[in-house]
Amino acid sequence: MGQFLFSGTTTAPLLFLFCVLLANPFGGGGRVADGATFTFVNKCEFTVWPGVLSSAGSPPLGTTGFELPVGGSLAVQAPTSWSGRFWGRTGCASDPAGRVVCATGDCGSGEVKCNGAGAAPPATLAEFTLDGSSALDFYDVSLVDGYNLPLVLRAGAGEACRSACEAFGNPEYCCSGEFATPSTCRPSVYSQMFKSACPRSYSYAYDDATSTFTCSGADYLLTFCPSGATVGR
């Protein structure tokens, strides 16, 4: 069991990030037998709009997106064997046509709910597969799509920063074309910058070995801006 702490802000040309993995502070209690509970907490000094995307073949959860006010929390139940991702959207407001548009992490649905759509980069992602191989949960904090919010991911109970792939679109940064294998797609200086500051984050497409973690029978707590950060408005 463990905790991801991913927090950052940018001051050009430097990027300052911090990440730790700690023991489970919730004790040894397991989760309910029919799935997992994800509890979202907003400690930012601004509203966050979490997005929810189920993987192909996984059932949709009770919500695909919601508003989380300052200091707010919300629990979302996921069934056994669910797989998908969560992220935070910032600066969401209605445009002149009445469509909801977000400054970062926008899913393009035009609503608070994402309705099966994913996040537009840059966005800090929390990715899960419940009850996978050997009945373990697999989870990671991914920076493959860039960074937009500080995030704690705990197993138990700035400005947005683009990834090199999103910024440049080159195959060597996106692990595409002739670079579409682990042997040809190597860490770039940009992904290494993320990795050196946050060793347990998932920083590029073939970064599984050091950045995917497992847990058995846990619930999960996701906290935006654990230190009350003001970046990401």
∠ CA 53-37-111, nearest 5°, is 35
- Average pLDDT of span 96-102: 97
Total of domains in the chain: 1
Average pLDDT score over the chain: 74
CB of 95 within 8 A of CB of 151? no
CATH code of the domain containing 71? 2.60.110.10
CB of 145 within 8 A of CB of 166? yes
- Average pLDDT of span 47-67: 97
For residue 81, the cross-strand partners are none
Per-state percent for the chain, helix, strand, coil, to nearest 5: 10, 35, 55
Q: Which of 225, 213, 161 lies closest to 2 in space, CA to CA?
A: 213
Instruction: Please give the pLDDT value at position 89.
Output: 99
Residue 233 belongs to some domain of the structure:
no
Residue 230 belongs to some domain of the structure:
no
Residue 49 structural domain: 3-224
Residue 20 belongs to some domain of the structure:
yes
Residue 194 belongs to some domain of the structure:
yes
pTM: 0.67
CB atoms within 10 A of CB 46: 16
CB of 183 within 8 A of CB of 175? no
Structure confidence by residue, pLDDT tens digits, 143-189: 888 889 988 888 774 234 445 565 557 776 677 888 777 677 666 55
Q: Which of 72, 83, 122 lies closest to 102 in space, CA to CA?
A: 122
Instruction: Please give the pLDDT value at position 11.
Output: 29
